Amino acid sequence: MYRPSARMQALRLGLVSAIMALALGACGAPEEAKPRPLPEGWQELRAGEYRSEEFEPPVSFRLGDGWTNVAPEVFDVLFLERDEKMGFAFVNPQQVYEPSRSGLPTVVEAPEDMVGWFRQHPYLRTSEPEAVTVGGVDGVRLDMTVENLPEGYAGPCVGGNLGDCVDVFRSSGFGWIAFPKDLKHRAVVFEDVDGKTVVVGFGIPAARFDEEAPEAQKVIDTVEWRNS
């Protein structure tokens, strides 16, 4: 029997290692994990990347710790919550509440100029618009607070026990969507995401806004429009 020398054994081991390395290289690096779908019900979420299932246009984003999915997700609204202190939403506005002194609900088709509508709303005080780009799509960012509500104002959100608030959007799955007076709100308006208007925003108690807004802004900064 032929018994290879130690030098030959080392050469063979080196050759086997080289072949294995080439085989692994041919297979390529492991595929990057795809964003996971949001759960169907209310559920705390692990940190990671998520994607919409029902909301249009399709979107993905990354979350840190402390976020909860708020069901149901529908084509025009996707809601999240963080530590029961912060509400976060993606809205594909179909209808808005026309401002009125009584708060009686008058629902109209969402305007094409959503930024202008916010700025002209008599019960919203808005910051100067700021141009931003998120996920390769241009948008406009506004910070807003509720002010000058008439005495006796009683829109649907008041009946929903939100206290002083102004009704903003009408949703297919959530009914009214409102801005409570005790929160400061940030909205980024995108007027053309696959031909649709999208508003991405959050509300935080005004006293904590500067401290907690960066955590919500991180989510906006990770947004990717899946069809863009």
Q: Which domain holds residue 134?
A: 36-225
Dump pLDDT digits (tens) for 10-54: 333 333 333 333 333 434 434 456 899 999 889 999 999 999 999
pLDDT at 76 over 80: yes
pLDDT digits (tens, 9 = 90+) for 160-199: 667 688 999 999 877 889 999 999 999 999 999 999 999 9
Residue 50 belongs to a domain with what CATH number? 3.40.1000.10
Higher pLDDT, 20 or 93: 93
| Pairwise CA distance, residues 109 & 38, whole Å | 29
List Cβ neighbours of 126 (8 Å cut-off, separation of 6 or more): 118, 119, 142, 143, 144
Examine residue 58 and state whether it is found in any structural domain, yes or no: yes
- C-alpha 194/C-alpha 207 separation (Å) is 36
**pLDDT for the residue numbered 156:** 80
Q: Which residues touch 178 (CB under 8 Å, ≥6 apart)? A: 155, 156, 157, 160, 162, 165, 166, 167, 168
Q: What is the pLDDT of residue 78?
A: 96
Judge whether 30 lies within some domain.
Answer: no
> Which of 191, 195, 196, 187 has its CA nearest to residue 220?
187
189 within a domain of the structure (yes/no): yes
The whole-number pLDDT of residue 1 equals: 31
The predicted pLDDT at position 54 comes to 94
- Residue-level pLDDT at 137: 97
Burial label for 152, CB within 10 Å (0-12, 13-18, 19+), is: exposed
Name the more confident of 103 and 46.
46
> Could you tell me if residue 17 is inside a domain?
no
Number of domains in the chain: 1
pTM of the model: 0.82
Range 68-82 average pLDDT:
94
In a domain, 2, yes or no: no
The verdict on residue 202 lying in a domain is yes
Cα 14 to Cα 2, 7, 11, 25, 145, distances in angstroms: 20, 11, 5, 16, 69
Question: Does 10 map to a domain?
Answer: no
Q: According to the model, what pLDDT value does residue 153 have?
A: 80
Looking at per-residue pLDDT, the higher value among 100 and 75 belongs to: 75
User: What pLDDT does residue 26 have?
Assistant: 39
pLDDT tens for 131-168 read 999 999 999 999 999 998 888 887 788 776 676 889 99
* 6 assigned to some structural domain: no
